[in-house]
Amino acid sequence: MTNKLTFDSSTTSVGDLPTPEPDSPYRPRRQYRFSTLCATVENPGLKDQYGSSSVPIYQTATFKGVGGEYDYTRSGNPTRSHLEHHVAKISSAVHGFAVSSGMAALDTILRLLKPGDAIIAGDDLYGGTNRLLAYLRTHAGITVYHVDTTKPDTLIPLLKTENNITMVLLESPTNPLLKIVDIATIAKEVKERVPAALVVVDNTMMSPFLQRPLEHGADIVYDSATKYLSGHHDLMAGVITCNRDDVAKQIAFLINATGNGLTPFDSFLLLRGTKTLALRLNQQSSTSILVARYLHSLGFPTFYPGLPDHPNKEIHERISNGYGAVLSFSTGSKDVSERVVAATRLWSVSVSFGCVNSLISMPCAMSHASIPAATRAARGLPEDLIRLCVGIEDSADLLDDLERALIDAGAVRRTAAGLVRVQTSIGEAVQKLAEKEAAQDEIPPHEKQWVVSAPGKVILFGEHAVVYGIPALAASLSLRCYAISSPRTDNTLGVHFLDIDGGQPDGFKHEWNLSELPWDAVPSQSSQVEGEVALNHQLLDVISSQVLADISDTHARQASLAFLYLYMVLGAHSGQRPALTLAARATLPVGAGLGSSASFSVCTSTSLLLVFGRIRVPSQSPPASPDPPLASSSSSSPSPKLSDTLAQCANRYAFLLEKILHGTPSGVDNSVAVFGGGLQYTKGRSGGLEAIDGFKALRFLLTDTRVPRNTRSLVAGVAERLAKDPNGVDQVLEQIRDVVVRARHTLGEEGDGTTVLAGLIAENHAHLIDLGVSHPSLEDVRDVTGRYGLATKLTGAGGGGCAVTLVPDDFSESSLSSVIAALQEKGYIPYLTEVGGPGLGILIAQSTSALPITPPEPATPDTESDGWLGGQTVALFVQKSKPELGSWIGGLGDWAYV
d(CA 709, CA 139): 15
- Cα Rg for the chain, rounded, in angstroms? 31
d(CA 551, CA 436): 36
d(CA 585, CA 604): 11
d(CA 833, CA 854): 26
Go through 367-376 and write b for each residue having 16 or more CB atoms within 10 A of its CB, e for each that does not: bbbebbbbbb
Beta partners for residue 361, in sequence order: 387
With a CB cutoff of 8 Å and minimum separation 6, the contacts of 139 are none
d(CA 125, CA 171): 7
Which among 678, 620, 637, 647 has a CA at the least distance from the CA of 452? 647
Q: Name the DSSP letter for residue 177.
A: T
d(CA 834, CA 588): 12
SS3 10: helix
Q: Give CA torsion, residues 147, 148, 151, 153, to 10 deg.
A: -20
Which among 176, 181, 126 has a CA at the least distance from the CA of 389? 176
Distance of CA 785 to the CA centre of its chain: 27
d(CA 713, CA 692): 31
- Please check whether residue 82 is in contact with residue 57, taking contact to mean a CB–CB distance below 8 angstroms: no
- Please check whether residue 689 is in contact with residue 671, taking contact to mean a CB–CB distance below 8 angstroms: yes
d(CA 451, CA 119): 41
Cβ atoms < 10 Å from Cβ of 582:
22
Which among 130, 113, 112 has a CA at the least distance from the CA of 121? 130
Residue 871's Cβ-side half-sphere holds a number of Cα atoms within 13 Å equal to 16
Cβ atoms < 10 Å from Cβ of 591:
13
With a CB cutoff of 8 Å and minimum separation 6, the contacts of 38 are 90, 209, 274, 275, 276, 277, 278
Catalytic residues: 74, 126, 202, 227
d(CA 47, CA 58): 13
Residue 834 to residues 286, 645, 677, 884: CA-CA distances in angstroms?
A: 54, 26, 10, 17
- Please check whether residue 754 is in contact with residue 808, taking contact to mean a CB–CB distance below 8 angstroms: yes
Cβ atoms < 10 Å from Cβ of 275:
17
Beta partners for residue 459, in sequence order: 474
d(CA 240, CA 251): 9
- Please check whether residue 356 is in contact with residue 348, taking contact to mean a CB–CB distance below 8 angstroms: no
Distance of CA 606 to the CA centre of its chain: 28
d(CA 246, CA 248): 5
